[in-house]
Amino acid sequence: MTDAVSDVVHSNREPQTSPMASPRYLQPDLVVVNLCIASRKRLLEQFAELIATNATTCYSENNENVPDSEQIFTTLHDRERLGSTALGKGIALPHGRIAGLSQPVIAIAKLANPVDYDSPDGMPVWLAVCLLVPAEANQGHLNLLATLAAKFDDDDFVREVKETVSTTEIYNLFSDI
Amino acid sequence: MKITILGGGQVGASIAEILSREKNDITVVDHNRKILDTLQDRMDIRTVHGAASSPEVLKQAGVDDVDLILAVTNSDEVNMVACQVAHTLFHTPTKIARVRSSDYLAHPELFCKKAIPIDVIISPEQILNHQIQRLIEYPGALQVIDFADGKIQLVALKAYYGGALVGHELKDLKDHLPSVKTRVAAIYRQDRAIIPTGKTVIEVDDEVFFIATHEDIKKVMQELRSIEESGKKIMIAGAGNIGFRLAQSLENSGYQVKLIERDPQRARWVSEQLKDTIVLQGDAADEELLRQENIDKMELFCSLTNEDEANILSAMLAKRLGARRAMAIVNRVAYIELIESSVLDIAISPRLSTVSALLSHVRRGDVVAAHSLRRGVAEAIESVAHGDSKTSKIVGRKLADIKLPNGATIGAIMRKDELISLEDDAVIEDGDHIIIFVIDKLKIPDVEKLFQVSVTFF
């Protein structure tokens, strides 16, 4: 959270590495569609449970402090308190740093019914992309957030995601992360 | 934010009103249907009828979706169990409860995730006790509020003849007190707020709000009114929990306290607990008793019983019989408006104090403290600035370039325990604690937005 770090996050709005070269942080089993929840709190809770149960490969092997869903939920919730992670257009990017992670984890949820998210344009959120990075995240990890945000600048891409109905298709749409 | 309030009594209703006006999604739970109906007539909220600690009722109230619950029913036990249920069954992130009984409060280890999971405990008695002690510490102040862990205070007082700054422009304050870092955050003149500038001239009877460190407050106060000696003689009416605790703290800080209690049994019990306080059994509105006990030698008379009317009348009487200042606990806001500053020196509302204490925990952003002022019309907020010039609307910017909402002023900036001079070219840094004074409550959402970091903040 130092000045220097967040500064670079911003100056690198464009993806730094070519899609082929970067490792995939999004796992197929961390994409859900038609998620039925009625609030931001439940959405963050669902992400926390999804990641805690399915993303075990992302935790460093020797670390005994594998975060549980409660830790992830608290991190995501605390971040929202400092300012909503809603981008507008009905999209949110909840994120946070988690001790015990060895590499970033990304999860995507498309909601059955949009939820209030305190967004800048007042639009309820129908798509959330959750990004967790290690506590000692490197610059590449932190740039992921700006990369994700930049993807949604493209209205055609947003439309494509909105029309998609299956988890595989969504997974493929985010093939560069 | 989605918030559930358990208990629709005075405090629950007040906080529901404030929060629903600020576009929060509020549900109030109470076992009294009449109370719920009245609330629903007055404000845009959802109500659920039932027992506040029942899992079924909480589920019905939608606690599974809320960010915050406020347990303010009349029962400590119901409040505690409700927080436990919300924690275990619904993982509610923030749980705030009112707990009155000092029996529970004496064991803070009870309130943790492993025992009774309450994040914030609001104890009205402790709040009032602290508030009254601060007012006694700074005679002449109408309100004293701690910020930055008590390192600085916001003080409200009336300007009188004799104060060196009265009749002068605010910028002269710097020449009068060159070594003191202070800022006048707001001035109320005939009940209208003035946003102060260097050219504002302080007039007699202005209600001035300023911020300074603990050590400097008295120096600034002397600029606004002639020096008052703080006498050590205090008379308290009412030996309830508040009166008893206050007497206890005051006798430990070297005050000479006389405590009047009507109930003989309570009077005897209290007299056995207190070391140096003189406990008198009698009626605080008994002119003869007050005279006998040298009311005219008292620096302060505090009436702290449960009855508004009795408190007001005995304080008025004490004042007429020569007590230097009089303070009373008054619950009804309408009464406070009637009497404060004209009849009595200070009226303290337990309800407003409790609501004010709850506020800092429901504000968005990294808010450390928020206090309701001027009977709830204005508010002072201490918030931590996060991020950098890209992710924050304030960090990395000069004070002169920050677009504050109309009616909001920066009262102080604390950086690593140091008060920063508020020059126009001072630049706000990540981690600064900023105290903002908002004269119009409707602007609070705009102030909250100012502090919010953008999406890309990690």
pLDDT, tens digit (0-9, with 9 covering 90-100), for B157-196: 989 888 888 999 999 988 889 889 899 999 999 889 998 9
- What pLDDT does residue A2 have? 40
Pairing, β B233-237 against β B256-261? parallel
Q: Is the reported ipTM for this assembly greater than 0.95? A: no
Chain B contact present for A8, CB below 8 A: no
pLDDT at residue B67 greater than cutoff 90: yes
How many Cβ atoms are within 10 Å of B345's Cβ, its own excluded?
23
Q: What is the pLDDT of residue A59?
A: 55
How large is the average pLDDT for residues B425-447?
A: 93
| Of A57-71, B210-224, B397-411, minimum mean pLDDT range | A57-71
A146 contacts in chain B (CB < 8 Å): 456
Whether B52 has a pLDDT exceeding 90, the answer reads yes
pLDDT of residue A6: 41
What pTM did the predictor assign? 0.86
Confidence of residue B334 (pLDDT cuts 50, 70, 90): confident
Q: Which residue has the tokens 């995939």?
A: A24
Query: Average of pLDDT values for A134-153?
Result: 90
Beta bridge partners of B141: B157
Give me the pLDDT at residue B313, please: 94
Does the beta carbon of B67 lie under 8 angstroms from any beta carbon of chain A? yes
pLDDT exceeds cutoff 60 at B265: yes
From the CA of A73, how many Å to the nearest CA of chain B? Answer: 9
Tokens of A151: 């993807």
Residues of chain B numbered 341-400 and touching chain A (CB < 8 Å): 364-366, 386-391, 396
Whether residue B458 and residue A95 make contact (CB cut-off 8 A), yes or no, is yes
Cα-only R_g, chain B: 23
Say what the pLDDT of residue B32 is: 96
According to the model, what pLDDT value does residue A10 have? 43
- Would the pLDDT of A62 be above 60? no
Task: Choose among B324, B281, B286: nearest CA to B302.
Answer: B324
> Which residues pair with residue B300 across a beta bridge?
B234, B325
Question: Given A10, A77, A95, A141, which residue is catalytic?
Answer: A95
Residue B22 falls in which region: left (phi positive, over 0), alpha (psi -120 to 50) or beta: alpha
Contact A3 B430 (CB under 8 A): yes
Q: Which of A2-11, A74-83, A138-147, B137-146 has the highest mean pLDDT?
A: A74-83
Q: What count of residues does chain A have?
A: 177
For chain B, give the mean pLDDT: 92
Say what the pLDDT of residue A11 is. Answer: 40
Calpha distance B387→B385 (Å, rounded) = 7
Q: Does B190 touch chain A (CB under 8 A)?
A: no
Cβ–Cβ below 8 Å for A6 and B391: yes
Supply φ then ψ for residue B25, to 5 degrees.
-95, 105
Ranges A55-59, A119-123, A172-176, B55-59, most confident: B55-59
Of B337, B289, B351, the residue nearest B14 (C-alpha):
B351
pLDDT of residue A18: 43
Region B398-410: what's the mean pLDDT? Answer: 92
Task: Give pairs for B251-254: CB < 8 Å, separation 24+.
Answer: B251/B275, B251/B276, B251/B277, B253/B133
pLDDT at residue B251, as a whole number: 93
Q: How much is the pLDDT for B228? A: 67
Give the whole-angstrom CA distance, residue B72 versus residue B5: 7
**pLDDT tier at A140 (50, 70, 90 boundaries)?**
confident
- pLDDT over 90 for what percent of chain B? 70
Predicted pLDDT of residue A61:
54
Contact assignment for B388 to A70 by CB distance below 8 Å: no
Q: Is A164 left (phi over 0), alpha (psi -120 to 50) or beta?
A: beta
| Chain mean pLDDT for chain A | 83
Q: What is the pLDDT of residue A20?
A: 45
Percentage of chain B exceeding pLDDT 70 = 99
- For residue A17, is pLDDT > 90? no
